[in-house]
Amino acid sequence: MVTHNSNELNYHTFIEMGLIAVLRFFINTAWGVFFVFVGELFPTEVSSLSYAWVSIIGTVGAAISPYVRLFTADLTMFVMAILGVVNIFLVRTLD
């Protein structure tokens, strides 16, 4: 039986944390570029309204996400898949 001493370094944890930090950096960079790009792409009225809606929806989503997880403990992935499909249809725009 292999036991681990708490004083030993767990290199897998350090590698995992390093990869998470690098990925988080790239995600934050993408969001920073996105906000600048959208701000320059659309008129001020449209971009400010869209930023407001994103902020509102993000705040509401962050507030209700623990309750979605709590009430749908066994169906979480199913509920998230349905919300993802609904999102696809809501995001589509007419040309």
Q: What is the DSSP string of 15-82?
A: HHHHHHHHHHHHHHHHHHHHHHHHHHHS-HHHHHHHHHHHHHHHHHHHHHHHHHHHHTTTTHHHHHHH
**pLDDT at residue 22 in the model:** 92
pLDDT (tens digit per residue) in 85-95: 887 777 665 54
pLDDT (tens digit per residue) in 17-41: 888 899 899 988 887 887 787 778 8
Better-predicted residue by pLDDT, 4 or 35? 35
Per DSSP, 84 falls in state: H
pLDDT (tens digit per residue) in 42-63: 788 888 888 888 788 888 888 8
